[in-house]
Each structure stands twice: as structure tokens, then as C-alpha cells.
Amino acid sequence: MERARESRPDHEAYLVVIREQSERFLEALVAVPLDSPVPTCEGWTAGDLLWHLGEVQHFWAHVAAGASGDDVVTPDRPEDEAALRRFVATAGTELLAALAARPADAPAWSWHADGGTLGWVARRMAHEALVHRADAELTAGLVVRPPAVEVAVDGVDEVLAVFVDGVPSWGTFAPDGVAVALRVTNASGAWRLDLGRFTGVGPDSGTAFDLDAAAVTRVPDDDPRPAELLVAGRAWDLDRWLWGRGSADVLEVDGDPAVLARLRRVLADATQ
């Protein structure tokens, strides 16, 4: 992803986000029955949501401590409710301890081409906790509280950079001339998405891919280039919408409805 000049939270700030969002996640679900449906994750229950965040934080705690992701063993899911809740709380504590033990530029395993450092893991885990805290509050019927504006702006950038942008070495992306402009209205932040097709054959599976995709560029706020679609809004509203956790009704949407529907499909495929 090409980038305009930007600022983002530092390593210690990401640790604060992980701690705060993980605690709010647990608080939101403390009295929620484990069989309660999660409205933003089709087919999931509150128990599934607890297990997911706990399992993810357990995995990355081991990676942050120096393990290869290929060597981390997934634990058995606790059958007892109290044990499940303890597991999630412990996983978060262990993740924070491992992230705090080494500097941001320390090497760490990653599945992503732009990863490879502890700082990348901290950023990824901050936004993982933030998104699932929103899931937890929605599951509990609570108001979804916004994070700090700079965290939400970084959330928009992170989901676009990590999940939407990027082509593996064995594939090819061909833009088709359709562009989308994304813009934050309560802070600095703008991105251009050039839509197109991703094609290639997975070297391990042999699966042939031919998918709608997007190349993402961080651009100046006053980027003058035209686009077929503009989506703009407050940073948290935009972040939630990109993750499928919020409605486009609170955003400014100007352009071709077919391009909006196409973009929504690309985002859903990238973040599922």
C-alpha cells in the first residue's frame, strides 16, 4: 500500500488500546448468556465470540514471546463457562506481558508481508480487540462507544492495509479503471481504492483464483483525482462500516450504487 505522510499511535499506545478494549469486551459480556447470538457475526454465539478473542490473543501472545506461528498449539476450548471466561482474561494478560517485554522493532513471526515485528503484532491486536469489543457491546444490547479519534483513523488504515490491499507473489492484480475515495471527516485521513481483478494459482493448494479486489493508496486529504464513488464519515463510523459492524446510513455516500455494492462485497470477502 502506497502511503501519504501519516502519524499513528506508538507501541505503548497500542498496548493501552489492547488493555482497555479487552477489559471492555469482558465487561460487556459478563452477564450475557453464552448462547446469545452475536448480531454482527452470523452463526456465532457469545461463547463463540469469547473463545475467538481468547484463542487469537493466546496465539499472538506466544508469537510475541518469540514463537513461530507454525509452532503454536491451539488449546482445547473450555467446556465450563467460568473456565472459558478465565481463559480469555488470562490470554489478554499474557498478550500484554509479551508485547511489553520487547521493543516494537523486535522480530516477530507474521502471516502478512508487511509484518515481522512486534509493533505490527501490537497494532493488529489493538484493532482485533477494538472490533470485537464492538461485537460484544452489540451482543449485550449496549451502546457501542467510540474509541479515541486517532485510534479509529488508524483502524481505517489498518483494515485497508492489512486485509484489503496486497497481492501475494504468486498472483496478479489488474485494475479496471473504477476508483473509490474514502475520507474521514473529523480528522485527517483519506484513501483511494482502485478496483480490479486478482488472479493466480495458489502454490500449495493449486486453487485458481479470479476475484474482485482492490489496491489501496493512502492519499492527501485534498487528493484531486476523480472517483466513481465517495464514502466519507467520522472515523469510527467508517471503521465500523469497513468491518461490517456499522451502517452506511451514517456516512456520506456519493456515486454509483453498483460500485458501492461491489465495494461492500470486496470488503466482506477480505474481512470474513
| Nearest one of 25, 27, 26, 48 to 36, comparing CA atoms | 48
What is the largest distance, in Å, between two alpha-carbon atoms of the chain?
Answer: 57
| Nearest one of 269, 178, 255, 251 to 215, comparing CA atoms | 178
Q: How many distinct structural domains can be found in the chain? A: 2
pTM: 0.95
In a shared domain, residues 140 and 186: no
In a shared domain, residues 125 and 184: no
Domain final position from 145, 180, 211: 145
In a shared domain, residues 109 and 234: no
The amino acid present at 225, given as its one-letter code, is: R
Q: Which stretches does DSSP call E strand in 186-266?
A: 190-201, 208-218, 229-233, 252-255
What CATH number is given to the structural domain containing 263? 3.30.1050
14 contacts 125 by C-beta, under 8 angstroms? yes
| Nearest one of 12, 35, 22 to 134, comparing CA atoms | 22
244 contacts 38 by C-beta, under 8 angstroms? no
150 located within any domain: no
For each of the chain's 272 residues, which pLDDT tens digit applies? 655 445 689 999 999 999 999 999 999 999 999 999 999 999 999 999 999 999 999 999 999 999 999 999 999 999 999 999 999 999 999 999 999 999 999 999 999 999 999 999 999 999 999 999 999 999 999 999 999 999 999 999 999 999 999 888 899 999 999 999 999 999 999 999 999 999 999 998 999 999 999 999 999 999 999 999 999 999 999 999 999 999 999 999 999 999 999 999 999 999 98
Residue 17, CB half-sphere, CA atoms under 13 Å: how many? 28
6 located within any domain: no
Q: Residues 255, 256, 258, 259: what is their CA dihedral angle, to the nearest 10 degrees?
A: -60
What CATH number is given to the structural domain containing 86? 1.20.120.450
60 contacts 91 by C-beta, under 8 angstroms? no
Predicted pLDDT of residue 5: 44
In a shared domain, residues 28 and 91: yes
In a shared domain, residues 189 and 123: no
For residue 128, give its domain range. 11-145
